[in-house]
Copies of this chain bind each other. A is one copy, B any other.
């Protein structure tokens, strides 16, 4: 008798294929689920493989549009960036993928969900916090945290051997000596030979962006139009090409950014689990949008609102990285940030060239939206009073310190 039904996040690769078979071995019925969030994948081959390995059903779900509109756009509004550098490509995809997984689990009456994420990483947390939030009664089977599984499969060789025994097709091309995670927003590279933080990356690592040394010698100049803090239109100023749906806009920015080698970073980051980890990322379109949004936001937003919103954005970025998309604090922060974007509206002109994004100019949407200089009654003399009142505390402090006498 079956122990119940598991919805397994299935990639078609060796690991999750072995998990698919292993779960059946443990007595579960398995439904496989593969999200299309823009990665380069032969989805039909994956379907056939899953079915041939005993999956009761295989769901292939195109989440690209909702990934852009419901996950990437809020990140753009927040200028979301983890530890000042990472644009959160993987972190944003996880709640999008896991949300659909528990929808399928509910719809199919499955009590279990499973995934192939490792036991030391962030992805397990992002996946499972989403599952627990949206389907509190669900039980998660994480084989890489189950001793019977991970002590049986100590390395890739054990998986290969198991695959051969069970008739699981094995990859023909050798595996790259690192792991990758790809989606519409980015590709990440980590582990293996990249784990050592001092090792320079192989020159042919990146797949989504050109090496700036080989990229075109002429910039592309784009105009991005924002309404309420999200891009609504991108125009190539020279070619006149314009795009205006979220998925088209983002894909086009990926294409231009990729062509010019934009968005490559090599960082050591702090995982939620308490370790440090080295990662390399390429986020072409996201990087362009980050710069364009920062520009239009600072241009159109009051200084003090910006100060407060900046702090909220730092917090939101941390929540995204840690996996708290579906949390009360995230909902609250996102509501606040959306409010702050009400008047973030206008065009930014940018030049993309040799791995870098240059802002050339910006314009508010409504002519009178922003005045750069104060009309009317600003009297230069007022500044004297302003400065003197602000100096009151400083004078007192230096008097008390007895160091009003400047020291070198």
Contacts and interface: CB of A to CB of B under 8 A. Distances in A.
Interface of A: 66, 79, 83-85, 99, 102-103, 106, 118-120, 124-125, 128-129, 132-137, 140, 142, 144-147, 150, 195-201, 212-213, 217-219, 264-270, 273-278, 294-295, 298-299, 302-312, 314-315, 318, 324, 326-329, 332-333, 335-336, 339-340, 343, 349, 353-356, 358-363, 368-374, 376-400, 404-406, 408
A356 B212 contact: yes
Contact of A388 (B132, B196, B304, B408): B132
A303 B274 contact: yes
Nearest to A362: B197
Contact of A66 (B201, B310, B336, B408): B408
Nearest to A270: B303
A214 to B, nearest CB: 10
Contacts of A343: 400
A360 B378 CA distance: 45
B392 A128 contact: no
Given A268-B298, A372-B277, A382 B389 contact: yes
Contacts of A369: 400
Contact of A84 (B294, B360, B397): B294
A267 B140 CA distance: 35
A318 B303 CA distance: 11
Nearest to A197: B362
B354 A135 contact: no
A147 B343 CA distance: 37
Given A133-B397, A268-B372, A302-B397, 4 more contacts: A136-B404, A196-B372, A332-B339, A382-B388
12 contacts: A118-B380, A125-B383, A129-B391, A132-B388, A133-B398, A137-B376, A195-B372, A195-B373, A274-B392, A276-B299, A308-B312, A308-B332
B129 A387 contact: yes
A389 to B, nearest CB: 4
B380 A274 contact: no
B393 A304 contact: yes
A302 B268 CA distance: 12
Closest 9 CB pairs of A and B: A385-B385, A119-B380, A274-B392, A270-B303, A354-B354, A382-B385, A132-B391, A304-B329, A386-B389
Contacts of A274: 303, 374, 389-393, 396
Contacts of A84: 79, 294, 298, 310
Contact of A302 (B303, B329, B379): B329
Nearest to A399: B136
B372 A275 contact: yes
A264 B291 CA distance: 13
B106 A405 contact: yes
B329 A212 contact: no
Contacts of A333: 308
A398 B294 contact: no
Contact of A315 (B308, B329, B354, B398): B308
Contact of A360 (B134, B200, B395): B200
Nearest to A354: B354
B372 A128 contact: no
B362 A395 contact: no
Nearest to A132: B391
Contacts of A362: 197-198, 268
Contacts of A133: 391, 394-395, 397-398, 404
A198 B62 CA distance: 39
Contacts of A306: 83, 270
A197 B385 CA distance: 28
B270 A132 contact: no
A124 B268 CA distance: 32
A113 to B, nearest CB: 12
